[in-house]
Amino acid sequence: MSEPKRSAMRVADSDRENVARLLCEAMGAGRITAGELETRLDAVYAARTFAEFEPVVADLAPGGTLGLSHAGDEEQGGRRSFAVMSGTTRRFAGPLPSNHVTRAFWGSVRLDLRRARIDGGSCTIRAVAVMGGVKIVVPEDFALDVRGLGLMGGFGTGRRTGRRRSATGAPVLRVTGFAWWGSVKVIRRPVESPRRSPRRRG
């Protein structure tokens, strides 16, 4: 595909996060400041086409261009959770979408999946934490595939969660993404029983 046509193409969430990772690595190496990182990340997540990425990385990527692939429309259709300098909690009940994107910038996101189910065999959550945290609480019957990058931060499962093996054929929750000066953690918790209202005595 020619560069002019590619520049006009719409970007997916995975494309934005590839650029965000490049910016975080640049700050970690001292090439840009925290203020520059914040400004550039705002531009990245507001971008709609590949052409809008170019001014953001012109002084960081070789030749001012990015070797990014287009992820297609399926990624764009995923549901999202977002927190900036705040805290967000989302509780899911029923079927999960095949893709979900959650981002925490200077804040925290907590996803409670204990009453959720995976109908298609697997679900992928892309989690990004920049100077913040993402905590994903899962039921005991989910199989986990947690593969992310921690840059001066942590990305993984809790100690007990990581040691537990799931039953063969269990629905799979995949967690990808990265944490920069923050954390993404997946933990198991039992499903809470619904509280019963106290009976009135006659």
- Span 118-129, pLDDT tens digits: 988 899 998 989
Q: Say if CB 16 and CB 44 are below 8 A apart.
A: yes
Q: Confidence class of residue 75 from pLDDT cuts 50, 70 and 90?
A: very low
% the chain with pLDDT above 90: 25
The helix (run of H) or strand (run of E) holding residue 157 is: strand 154-157
Taking the C-alpha atoms of residue 157 and residue 171, their distance in angstroms, rounded to an integer, is 17
- Span 131-141, pLDDT tens digits: 899 999 999 88
Instruction: List the chain domain ranges.
Output: 3-64, 78-188
Which residues does residue 183 pair with via DSSP β-bridges, in sequence order?
133, 154
Average pLDDT over residues 53-69: 71
Q: Confidence class of residue 86 from pLDDT cuts 50, 70 and 90?
A: confident
Taking the C-alpha atoms of residue 104 and residue 45, their distance in angstroms, rounded to an integer, is 13
Taking the C-alpha atoms of residue 45 and residue 179, their distance in angstroms, rounded to an integer, is 16
pLDDT at 138: 94
Phi, psi of 19 (to 5 degrees): -70, -40
pLDDT of 28 over the 70 cut: no
Higher pLDDT, 130 or 4: 130
Which residues does residue 81 pair with via DSSP β-bridges, in sequence order?
102
